[in-house]
Amino acid sequence: MKKLTSIAGAAVAAVIALAVSACSGSAAATGAGGQETTELRYQGSANNVTLAELAQDLGFLGDVRLRWVGNTTSGPQDIQSAATGQTDVGGAFAGAVVKLIEAGAPVKAVVNYYGEDEKTFTGYYVRDDSPIRSARDLIGKKVAVNTLGAHHEAVIDTWLEKNGLTPEEIEQVQLVVLPPNDTEEAIRRGQVDAGSLGGVLQDNAVAAGGLRSLFSDYSLFGAFAGGQYVFRSDFIAQNPETVRAFTTGVAKAIEWERTTPREQVIERFTQIIEKRNRGESTKNLKYWQSVGVPNAGIIGDADFARWDRWLHESGIVNGPIAPSKYYTNEFNELATAQPAAKG
């Protein structure tokens, strides 16, 4: 049960907080006079454009408007904020969604919002001169991740296990939590032995040279959806059309990114960041490659079942998981036009 305290503790804390904030969360769920709210509180990501933000800019959300309340520090933090009523919607790694729901939080996933493909993936890097060449070489070493109990931990543990390490040996690989923007420098300075890099941060680091990839999540699994946007169940019940507008808007934004020339996508991202005037940089947008999310964000059982073994070995679940209880595609209008992904 690797890191069981840190993994389960956050989920339990969120459920406790949910009970405390239930009244305030419900009050914020509907607009005046019992009408559906058309404003969604959310957390963004510095120097990046989320699919929800893109959907709004493209007019795909209709009358629904986003209200930025700050930037998230991690996926688990983002969905915990949604579960406790601090925000209305949040997104995280599928395993973190399972963890929160299994701990008792009444949330439901409605659309995939990030994923990995041959152009967009997360790599796990060491310095060029590092003696680390294999999974076994990581025993006793430090690996930087953005948070515990989420995508990077699940991928690293799965890779170590597939390369022959025992649970006891995997325990000896120390995961160190670092902000993604600090990971590259920590690797180069030798503060950690390895670290996870994704998106423009990875491309920027590779372009600078001096780092070597051990493996990637794409090399481990192929193309896959990694995480989902979730809403509280009470919010969904009180605001089904708002949830439908958001979910379908995100699905349309995924397809827009997938079918629009890369240069135009980057130009749109640049305009969005500059318009919102948050003192951000757009220099890394040139490294954007693809949306990474397959199939209009339609969720399938495989998006959760993929992590079944890790969920059990981490102590997050005990018996068989039932993926269908974690998600719904009913609010994604593009789901009626194509089936859920099989892989």
Could you tell me the residue ranges of all domains in the chain?
Answer: 4-116+223-336, 122-221
Average pLDDT over residues 118-147: 96
At the top level of CATH, which class does the domain 122-221 belong to? alpha beta
Q: Please give the DSSP secondary-structure letter assigned to residue 92.
A: E
Give the model's pLDDT for residue 29.
58
pLDDT at 320 (0 to 100): 85
Residue 212 tokens, joined? 């070597």
Domains 4-116+223-336 and 122-221 share a fold: yes
Q: What letter would DSSP give residue 150?
A: S
Given a cut of 90, whether residue 158 has pLDDT beyond it is yes
Which residue is listed with tokens 């299994």? 102
pLDDT at 105 over 90: yes
What is the second-level CATH architecture of the domain 4-116+223-336? 3-Layer(aba) Sandwich (3.40)
Would the pLDDT of 30 be above 70?
no
pLDDT tops 80 at residue 32: no
How many Cβ atoms sit within 10 Å of the Cβ of residue 177? 14
Are 231 and 107 a contacting pair, CB within 8 Å?
A: yes
Q: What is the mean pLDDT of residues 288-309?
A: 94
Q: Which helix (DSSP H) or strand (DSSP E) does residue 84 occupy?
A: none
Q: Is the pLDDT of residue 25 over 70?
A: no
